[in-house]
């Protein structure tokens, strides 16, 4: 055994020994999370965090970030060596440059949209990446028996498409459109699944959209991704149409409401919501399948 151990140590580069755990190299892992989307190349920036029954962080494995050199994770296999017990594992993929905070305690761990600079206001955030996720609850026995969980990741981030007709502005005079959405969620704590929150009440989604050439005032649309909304809160979208000189030529407010009741519409995870606006009035709200094109929505305007 001593000779074998010396042999193993001799073939592992020192730089890798300094950055990885022993169980990875001698294959003493007893729990593996297999993410098919990573293996097929359909998902990137994959992050797996495991917490024990007390909510303490046990291990984190990830791939797709600069500096990662874990070939198994890059193939979709995230390996762990865990003591016997019950655990909760969280898998997030396609998180892009969003903030991942895998804190020492589960109650403090979250994923959040990226804060950006949008003078003169603060607390501006960019739209989220197309994140997919799953929560796992493995139980590890006292005897060595490897447990493997294969993920079935769900779409977390939703999509809003706003379609306009009869716009009260000449589109030829518009260089870009600035979007400010308030009442939005900007943070998701791991343990709350899809019950999102925000850092402050001043948080808002901001984007600066270049107007495509040939855009028509008769019909124009845009779409942006969102976190699930905070229940009972109104999401308001302000659109500011700006000319080449930097002046606002028109502004259109859009409230995300149920057109029948006028109450705030709760945006659930993974939904594609289509809002139809005639001049300044919301005339239709409908849900379409995630993979359907906007031309296939329930109404044509």
Among 1.10.600, 1.10.3470, 2.60.40, 1.10.260, name the CATH number for the domain at 158-296: 2.60.40
pTM beyond cutoff 0.85: no
Instruction: Report whether pLDDT(25) > 80.
Output: no
**Burial of 213: CB neighbours in 10 Å, binned 0-12, 13-18, 19+:** exposed
Q: What is the pLDDT of residue 27?
A: 55
Q: Where in the chain is the domain with CATH 2.60.40.1120?
A: 2-96+131-155
pLDDT digits (tens, 9 = 90+) for 118-133: 888 899 999 999 999 9
Average pLDDT over residues 27-38: 90
CATH number 2.60.40.1120 given to 2-96+131-155: yes
Instruction: Report whether pLDDT(20) > 80.
Output: no
pLDDT digits (tens, 9 = 90+) for 207-235: 998 887 777 888 888 899 999 999 889 99
Q: What is the pLDDT of residue 290?
A: 43
If one compares 273 and 70, the residue with the highest pLDDT of the two is: 273
Q: Which residues of 34-48 are buried (b: 16+ CB within 10 A; e: fewer)?
A: ebebbeeeebebbbb
Q: What is the pLDDT of residue 260?
A: 83
């Amino acid at each position: 055994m001593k000779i074998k151990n010396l042999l193993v140590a001799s073939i592992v580069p020192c730089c890798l020994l300094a950055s990885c755990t022993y169980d990875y190299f001698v294959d003493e892992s007893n729990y593996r999370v297999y993410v098919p989307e990573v293996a097929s190349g359909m998902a990137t920036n994959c992050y797996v965090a495991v917490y024990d029954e007390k909510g303490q962080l046990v291990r984190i494995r990830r791939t797709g970030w600069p500096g990662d050199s874990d070939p198994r994770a890059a193939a979709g296999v995230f390996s762990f060596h865990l003591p016997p017990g019950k655990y909760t594992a969280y898998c997030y993929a396609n998180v892009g440059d969003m903030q991942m905070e895998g804190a020492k305690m589960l109650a403090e761990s979250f994923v959040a949209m990226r804060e950006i600079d949008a003078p003169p206001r603060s607390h501006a955030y960019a739209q989220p990446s197309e994140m997919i996720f799953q929560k796992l609850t493995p139980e590890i026995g006292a005897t060595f028996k490897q447990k493997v969980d294969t993920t079935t990741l769900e779409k977390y981030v939703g999509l809003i498409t706003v379609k306009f007709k009869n716009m009260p502005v000449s589109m030829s005079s518009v260089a870009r459109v600035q979007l400010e959405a308030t009442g939005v969620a900007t943070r998701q704590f791991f343990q709350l699944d899809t019950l999102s929150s925000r850092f402050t009440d001043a948080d808002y989604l901001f984007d600066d959209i270049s107007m495509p050439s040939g855009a028509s005032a008769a019909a124009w649309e845009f779409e942006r991704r969102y976190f699930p909304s905070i229940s009972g809160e109104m999401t308001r979208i302000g659109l500011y149409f700006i000319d080449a000189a930097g002046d606002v030529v028109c502004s259109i407010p859009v409230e995300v409401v149920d057109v029948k009741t006028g109450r705030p519409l709760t945006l659930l995870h993974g939904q594609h919501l289509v809002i139809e606006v005639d001049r300044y009035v919301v005339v239709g709200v409908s849900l379409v399948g995630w993979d359907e094109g906007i031309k296939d929505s329930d109404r044509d305007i």
